């Protein structure tokens, strides 16, 4: 099985359920990702001091990498944390998830956190204090980190640092890795459109986007968007929520329907889809099977608050992977 390494913001997620009025009063567009200061983070937490919260180690790429590890894959994660209790929690949580932590530390700044505000319809809005995670620089990245890995996955939120993301992707390619990129957020795509287009055309092999992100990148509907992106990369994926996803490689395009679930919180759905997809790809599955595994992982995570599935859920997905693997071996012998 191929080995996968990810790079992203090392953020501890603080999840809470709020109303749409709360978002309006805070001036946060529903469904957006907003970078905030330490002071703003304190204001938001004070406003919801009495609201029940759930804390987990997160960040888009880390969620994807943790999914791969939970399904039995070999996975590592590069990020930056502070020398504080939250940073210790983050490292320990990666280890418990089976991920090899390649974490740098910043001696002055607090570890980053992402306040995830979940409205009654399950939509999530992010207010993110990057803290130490934002201080990762291109000097922190070396080619040696990628040696022994086959796929490098990076989150689009890192696009804010052009020098870092370009160096990381270039070194990963030089080390022989395929490059996988999740576009992360429509406003991130809009803010970095020209840089993103050049980056994808030069270096990216696999791209993940939701409907809003793919429209921001191509200005096309999902089916047309996945076709256009598939001309720029080897594998393109466009997720369309309850309508499933489109996956395309060359001229092969599939629509994969979503599984029926009760949506409680959509946090991490895209990350777990990417994790399931990449794990299946690393195991040699075709893109249709990869999309199905990603769909199941995404469908299960929206049923819970946060991004941590039960062992029963993971067992279900592992059994399906084993079944697909058995069929694949039977018909290739």
Residue ranges of domains in the chain, CATH in brackets = 4-330 (3.40.1190.20)
The residues near 263 (Cβ < 8 Å, ≥ 6 apart) are: 121, 122, 302, 303
State the Cα–Cα distance between residues 207 and 169, nearest whole angstrom.
Answer: 13
Instruction: Tell me 155's DSSP state.
Output: E
pLDDT in tens, 226-256: 999 999 999 999 999 999 999 999 999 999 9
Task: Report whether pLDDT(275) > 80.
Answer: yes
Q: How far is CA 311 from CA 73, 125, 147, 302, in A?
A: 16, 27, 31, 16
State the Cα–Cα distance between residues 132 and 113, nearest whole angstrom.
Answer: 10
pLDDT in tens, 27-59: 999 988 898 998 888 888 889 989 988 878 888
pLDDT at position 333: 46
> CB–CB of 177/5 below 8 Å?
yes
State the Cα–Cα distance between residues 187 and 28, nearest whole angstrom.
Answer: 13
Instruction: Name residue, tokens 């709360």.
Output: 22
Q: How far is CA 246 from CA 65, 176, 232, in A?
A: 22, 27, 16
pLDDT in tens, 187-233: 999 999 999 999 999 999 999 999 999 999 999 999 999 999 999 99
User: Which SS3 state, helix, strand or coil, does residue 125 take?
Assistant: strand
Instruction: Name residue, tokens 């249709």.
Output: 288
User: Which SS3 state, helix, strand or coil, does residue 278 take?
Assistant: helix
The full DSSP string for 200-257 is HHHH-SEEEEEHHHHHHHHSS-HHHHHHHHHTTSSEEEEE-GGG-EEEEETTEEEEEP
State the Cα–Cα distance between residues 59 and 47, nearest whole angstrom.
Answer: 23
State the Cα–Cα distance between residues 30 and 15, nearest whole angstrom.
Answer: 15
State the Cα–Cα distance between residues 258 and 271, nearest whole angstrom.
Answer: 15
Give the mean pLDDT of 74-102.
93
Quick one: 27 exposed, middle or buried, by C-beta within 10 A (0-12, 13-18, 19+)?
exposed
């Amino acid at each position: 099985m191929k080995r996968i390494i990810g790079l992203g913001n090392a953020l501890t997620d603080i999840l809470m359920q709020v109303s749409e009025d709360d978002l309006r009063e805070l001036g946060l567009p529903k469904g957006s990702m907003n970078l905030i200061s330490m002071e703003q983070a304190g204001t938001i937490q004070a406003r919801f001091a009495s609201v029940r919260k759930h804390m987990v180690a997160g960040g888009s790429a880390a969620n994807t990498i943790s999914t791969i590890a939970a399904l039995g894959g070999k996975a590592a994660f590069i990020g930056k944390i502070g020398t504080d209790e939250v940073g210790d929690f983050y490292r320990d949580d990666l280890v418990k998830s089976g991920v090899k932590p390649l974490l740098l530390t910043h001696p002055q700044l607090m570890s980053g956190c992402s306040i995830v505000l979940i409205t009654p319809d399950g939509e999530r809005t992010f207010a993110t204090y990057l803290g130490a995670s934002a201080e990762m620089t291109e000097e922190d990245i070396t080619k040696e980190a990628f040696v022994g890995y086959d796929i490098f996955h990076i989150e689009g939120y890192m696009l804010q640092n052009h020098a870092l993301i370009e160096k990381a992707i270039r070194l990963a390619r030089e080390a022989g890795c395929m490059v996988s990129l999740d576009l992360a957020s429509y406003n991130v795509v809009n803010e970095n459109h020209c840089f993103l287009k050049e980056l994808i055309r030069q270096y990216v092999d696999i791209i993940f986007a939701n409907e809003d992100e793919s429209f921001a990148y191509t200005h096309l509907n999902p089916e047309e968007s996945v076709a256009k992106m598939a001309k720029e990369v080897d594998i393109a994926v466009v997720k369309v929520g309850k309508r499933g996803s489109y996956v395309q490689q060359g001229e092969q395009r599939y629509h994969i329907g979503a599984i029926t679930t009760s949506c409680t919180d959509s946090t991490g759905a895209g990350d777990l889809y990417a994790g399931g997809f990449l794990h299946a790809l690393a195991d040699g599955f075709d893109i249709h099977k990869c999309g199905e595994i990603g769909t199941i992982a995404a469908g299960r995570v929206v049923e819970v608050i946060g991004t941590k599935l039960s062992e029963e859920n993971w067992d279900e997905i592992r059994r399906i992977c084993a079944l697909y693997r058995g069929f694949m071996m039977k018909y290739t012998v």
